[in-house]
Amino acid sequence: MKRAYLAAVLGLTIALPALAQDKPLQVDGPTEMERNMVRMWSRENIDEGAYTYFSFGADHTIYWMAADGPGKRVFIRNEYFENQNGAAKPYRSTKSLYDLDCGGKSWRVLATDLFENNGLRGADAHAESPDAAWIKPADGSDDAYLLGMICKG
């Protein structure tokens, strides 16, 4: 019995490293072809209007547009490939009003609208947070890049 157990343990210690090698420790970002496919999907399915395309995530594309108001404000828009279920009802697009502190390299979300359909269409839900906490995005993140880009412009 002990020999069978030892054989099994030895077999696992030999097989596990080989199995672990099948999956990389770090996954590469999207290829140029994947980026182009997302951009093509966006152009074919989303009316960008006055928004500027910025980037995309695993499940959505991201746009921005300057907003009126005191200080520096922008709208950040997300268009999702599939229904999102994080709210009371499914949604496919969002529009959030961001207040930017360019000197402090931070932002806060003042309001968000969730829309039933892509293109900011359909029934929506609205939430405001005028006293939202300021958030400093991590260095090197997409959020930090967007903040820097908008603050320079």
Domains and CATH numbers, the chain: 32-152 (2.40.128)
pLDDT band at 19, cuts 50/70/90? very low
Residue 65 confidence (pLDDT) above 90 = yes
Our separate counts of H helices and E strands in the chain read 3, 6
Provide CB contacts within 8 A for 127, sequence distance 6+. 111, 112
Mean pLDDT score, 9-18: 38
Burial (0-12, 13-18, 19+ Cβ within 10 Å), 106: middle
Please state whether 3 falls in left (phi above 0), alpha (psi between -120 and 50) or beta: alpha
What SS3 state is found at 62?
strand
Residue for token digits 């995005």?
137
CA 62, CA 26: separation in Å to the nearest integer?
Answer: 24
Q: What is the pLDDT of residue 88?
A: 75
Question: Which region among 13-17, 23-27, 57-61, 67-71 has the lowest average model confidence (pLDDT)?
Answer: 13-17
**Nearest to residue 101, comparing CAs of 66, 145, 136?**
136
CA 113, CA 5: separation in Å to the nearest integer?
Answer: 59
- Show the beta-strand stretches assigned E in the chain: 52-56, 60-67, 72-84, 91-101, 106-117, 121-128
**Nearest to residue 39, comparing CAs of 79, 75, 77, 66?**
79
Average per-residue pLDDT for the chain = 79
Q: What is the pLDDT of residue 26?
A: 42
Mean pLDDT score, 119-129: 89
12 vs 36, more confident? 36
Please state whether 21 falls in left (phi above 0), alpha (psi between -120 and 50) or beta: alpha
